[in-house]
Amino acid sequence: MHYAIIDIETTGGSPKNSKITEIAIYKHDGEKIIDEYQTLIDPEMPIPPFIVQLTGISDKMVSEAPKFFEVAKKIIEFTEGCIFVAHNVGFDYGIMRIEFKTLGYDYRLPHLCTVRTSRYVLPGKDSYSLGKLTRSLGIQLVGRHRAGGDAFATAQLFTLLMKTDPNNLENFVQEELNPKRLHPNLNLATLEEIPNKTGVYRFFNDTNQLIYIGKSIHIKKRIEQHLRNNKTLKAVKMQKEISRIEFELTGSELLSLLKESILIKEHQPIYNRTLRRNSFPYGLFNYTDVDNYLRLFIAKVSTTNEIPISSFNTKREGVAFLERKVEEFDICTKLCDLYKTKSSCFQYTIKNCLGACIKEEPFESYNSRCQNLINELTMSGSSFYVLDKGRQRGEKSMVFVKNGSIRAMGYAPYHYKKLKPERWVEFLDIIQDDRDARTILKLFLSKSEKHGIVKV
């Protein structure tokens, strides 16, 4: 197996508007460099001053260099049969694909990112930027922000990664989409237009039937995972049926979660039905023991008929959440089944527990703190807005909760702050409150710290 370790310099800006000014490729056999190719490239556009300052590549330097179409065939031949390797491969590979696309050629190779691979093979580094990572490893980087210097340093890093963990590197190779496995009507070119942002996506079959709805904070990446997945019969079957893809950006992860849930209930796509039955299989429950103390515990939702106070994807997630709340509300770990003992809990021995575990603290005061936690998690009687990122600058996403029930969600324009919060709901769409929506909101509020809360 051969690897093409590549670095490119560009005119900057967005990938769609940026042009290559220099490319360096080191061919690697898994042990050492066996060949190389480097050239400046005339981008056929002025190079911005800040890029000149960063790379040292000026308009004069590239004035007599070949244009990309003049070296395209050489690049194809040099990298043929190789795995495309780069530090932050999404950038270099994406730019190369766009450059070839302008020539009418669909350039596709399996690819591997040395940033992602280094995080796994060489954990615990302060930084995984090429300059700082190579410096920490004693790899000399001569010619930073020039294609030759950066590509050669990446090649040396790749050699180290192969020596350190050769058996697992193949797990980081991202295979390109195989059109033979997909529906013939699915236009792969449209995938290039999907941004890797937060949103909801929909898959349709060739009779325009909606067959699957999903969400992600990186929708392009998630959609491509669907189209590559060959690990289950269901995944392969769905791949063959997808003939059209639609997407909607939400900006906010919370809105993507709520929109996905609403759309699935409305349309009941065939590939979502079994998936959604046990979305949150674990829950936080409570009961009052024989000594009148409130007890909290994490359990499978299927083992009880009670409605959970809060819900979780895994037991570990639930336990971690309860451990945080125990500290925040001064609740006894023994009475939450987090510390197994017949006597006092450990926190009592270090004077961080008031003694409910040994009935030293009256149940009235202890239960009051537990009830405060329960009220917070169940949004009992509360009215507030959850503010999160919008789809564009100056916009805010909002979810409106009134008396503990979700009433509306949507987007408010930049001037929303000039109005009283009571009027913000005018910007939003009314939605039907249900148990799943409340579970999604409570789980989001328990995990995210980037949102804002405005009480009304």
Q: What is the pLDDT of residues 170-211, one digit of tens each?
A: 888 988 787 888 999 998 878 878 998 999 999 999 999 999
Question: Torsions phi, psi of 201, nearest 5?
Answer: -130, 155
Tokens of 162: 């192969």
Query: For position 399, what pLDDT does the model report?
Result: 96
Which of 276 and 440 is assigned the larger pLDDT? 440
Query: How far from chain centre, in Å, is Cα 423?
Result: 33
Tokens 């106070």 found at: 309
Nearest Cα to Cα of residue 172 among 136, 119, 219, 133: 119
pLDDT digits (tens, 9 = 90+) for 43-70: 999 999 999 999 999 999 999 999 999 9
Choice between 414 and 154, residue whose per-residue pLDDT is larger: 154
Whether 213 has a pLDDT exceeding 60, the answer reads yes
| Reported pTM | 0.67
pLDDT tens per residue across span 304-316? 888 788 888 899 9
Write the DSSP assignment of 424-451 as a string of letters.
GGGGEEE----HHHHHHHHHHHHH--S-
Confidence of residue 432 (pLDDT cuts 50, 70, 90): confident
Is residue 76 predicted with pLDDT exceeding 80? yes
Percent of the chain scored above 90 by pLDDT? 72
114's CB contacts (< 8 A; 6+ apart) are 85, 86, 87, 89, 154, 157, 158, 161
Check residues 291 and 278 and name the one with the higher pLDDT. Answer: 291
Q: Which of 171-175, 236-240, 397-401, 410-414 has the lowest mean pLDDT?
A: 171-175
For every residue of 306-339, DSSP letters joined together read SPPSEEESSHHHHHHHHHHHHHHHT--SGGGTSS
Alpha-carbon distance values, 328 to 40, 127, 300, 331, 362 (Å): 59, 32, 24, 8, 19
- pLDDT at residue 439, rounded to an integer: 83
Q: Quick one: 179-267 is in which CATH superfamily?
A: GIY-YIG endonuclease (3.40.1440.10)
Mode of pairing for the β-strands spanning 82-86 and 111-113: parallel
- Most distant CA atoms of the chain, gap in Å: 88
Pull the structure tokens for residue 9.
């310099």
CA gap 80, 4 in Å, rounded = 9
Average pLDDT over residues 264-292: 84
Which residues, including other chains, have CB under 8 Å from residue 262's CB and lie 6 or more apart?
A: 431, 432, 437
Percent of the chain with pLDDT over 70: 99
* pLDDT mean over 334-343: 94
Which is nearest to 249 in space by CA: 200, 284, 210?
200
| pLDDT the model gives residue 278 | 53
User: Nearest to residue 438, comparing CAs of 411, 414, 413, 402?
Assistant: 402
Could you identify the residue written with the tokens 């710290």?
A: 449
* CA 87/CA 130 separation, integer angstroms: 7
Strands (E), 148-300: 199-204, 210-216, 244-249, 282-288, 294-300
Place 322 in a pLDDT band, splitting at 50, 70 and 90. very high
pLDDT band (50, 70, 90) for residue 73? very high
Structural domain boundaries of the chain? 2-172, 179-267, 282-374, 384-455
CB 7 within 8 A of CB 15: no
> pLDDT grade, residue 274 (50/70/90)?
low
Containing H/E element for 97?
helix 89-102
Which range has highest mean pLDDT (196-210, 307-321, 401-415, 419-433)?
196-210
Q: Cα separation of 422 and 442, whole Å?
A: 22
Is the domain defined by 2-172 classed in CATH 3.30.420.10? yes
Contact partners, residue 193, CB within 8 Å, separation at least 6? none
Query: Which pLDDT does position 280 carry in this prediction?
Result: 79
